[in-house]
């Protein structure tokens, strides 16, 4: 009930895209990049997504499309191969930028290891309040990006997206992070920042609740019922996003 292409889009823009947020939130990640020259890594998946990650000043930025002038290029012959990179079953071979292999082996791998620690967090790690908050924020960004990827690529996700009218949906954790889902002609784009205004809004009451939702410990309908999730505005947008959200869990399981 999932497909490799959608998963590749989630893995690239959701998982590797979360490196942007990791570098903002985590000192260990920043430390890894400290003093390093700017470097860009292009990823191109045949029959799937492509993007460029640029590391500069201890920060990371992702842009859509594999830039021609990237320093390192990682081509993948299929979505399955690229998904293997994320699973740890495939070792990437650069087609360009061999001199930067040390960066790939040390910094890039180091960053993805830290990211994995946060995204596949152990119960023990989550007992630490600071870790818990960072981990949940990173999950939040991953999930909000995955919503758009599923809406645009997955067959059932596209069915749900077909019922979403144009406009801005704000997804937020109260007193914490916020993301924008911009919908135009049923095509979704996630922007990892708070919108200026919205047509509909879904707000999780606390970071603890968001975590419980992400971990599948509570159900969103039940939370809407008890008011711990608030929704406002054009509810049919949120209603359909919630259906897509069900599929996020399937892809990230």
Q: Contacts with other proteins: how many residues (CB under 8 A)?
A: 27
When asked if residue 200 is in the footprint of other proteins (CB under 8 A), the reply is: yes
User: Which of 7, 148, 153 minimizes the C-alpha distance to 80?
Assistant: 7
When asked if residue 224 is in the footprint of other proteins (CB under 8 A), the reply is: yes
Shortest spacing between CB 29 and other proteins, in angstroms: 36
User: What is the spatial distance between Cα 70 and Cα 66, in angstroms, rounded to a whole number?
Assistant: 7
In contact, 244 and 150? CB cutoff 8 Å:
yes
Q: Which residues contact 105 (CB under 8 A, 6 or more apart)?
A: none
User: What is the spatial distance between Cα 43 and Cα 159, in angstroms, rounded to a whole number?
Assistant: 29
Q: Which is nearer to other proteins, 55 or 188 (CB)?
A: 188
Of the candidates 234, 248, 251, 252, which one interacts with other proteins according to CB under 8 A? 234
When asked if residue 195 is in the footprint of other proteins (CB under 8 A), the reply is: no
Q: Of residues 201-220, which lie at the interface with other proteins (CB under 8 A)?
A: 219
In contact, 13 and 49? CB cutoff 8 Å:
yes
User: What is the spatial distance between Cα 82 and Cα 104, in angstroms, rounded to a whole number?
Assistant: 16
Q: Of residues 67-106, which lie at the interface with other proteins (CB under 8 A)?
A: none
Binding characters for other proteins, 134-173, by CB under 8 A (x = yes): ----------------------xx-xx------x------
When asked if residue 246 is in the footprint of other proteins (CB under 8 A), the reply is: yes
* E-only strand ranges, 46-166: 50-56, 59-64, 72-76
Q: Which is nearer to other proteins, 5 or 247 (CB)?
A: 247
When asked if residue 226 is in the footprint of other proteins (CB under 8 A), the reply is: yes
Lookup: tokens for 28: 């260990």
Residues near other proteins, by CB under 8 A: 156-157, 159-160, 167, 198-200, 219, 221-222, 224-227, 230-236, 240, 243-244, 246-247
């Amino acid at each position: 009930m999932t497909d490799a292409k959608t998963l590749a889009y989630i893995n690239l823009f959701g998982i590797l895209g979360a490196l942007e947020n990791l570098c903002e939130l985590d000192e260990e990640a920043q430390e890894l990049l400290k003093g390093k020259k700017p470097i860009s890594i292009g990823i191109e998946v045949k029959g799937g997504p492509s993007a460029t990650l640029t590391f500069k000043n201890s920060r990371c930025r992702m842009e859509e499309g594999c830039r021609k002038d990237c320093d390192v290029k990682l081509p993948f012959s299929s979505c399955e191969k690229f998904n293997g990179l994320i699973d740890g079953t495939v070792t990437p071979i650069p087609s360009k930028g061999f001199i930067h292999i040390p960066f790939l082996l040390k910094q890039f791998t180091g960053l993805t290891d830290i990211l994995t620690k946060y995204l596949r967090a152990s119960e023990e790690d989550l007992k630490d309040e600071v870790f818990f908050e960072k981990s949940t924020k990173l999950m939040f960004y991953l999930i909000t990006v995955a919503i758009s990827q599923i809406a645009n690529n997955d067959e059932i996700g596209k069915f749900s997206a077909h019922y979403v009218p144009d406009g801005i949906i704000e997804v937020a954790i109260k007193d914490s992070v916020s993301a924008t889902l911009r919908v135009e002609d049923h095509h979704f784009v996630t922007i990892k920042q708070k919108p200026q205004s919205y047509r509909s809004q879904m707000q999780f009451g606390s970071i603890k609740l968001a975590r419980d939702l992400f971990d599948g410990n509570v159900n969103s309908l039940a939370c809407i019922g008890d008011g711990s999730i608030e929704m406002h505005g054009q509810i049919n947008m949120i209603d359909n996003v919630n259906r897509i959200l069900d599929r996020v869990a399937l892809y990230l399981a």
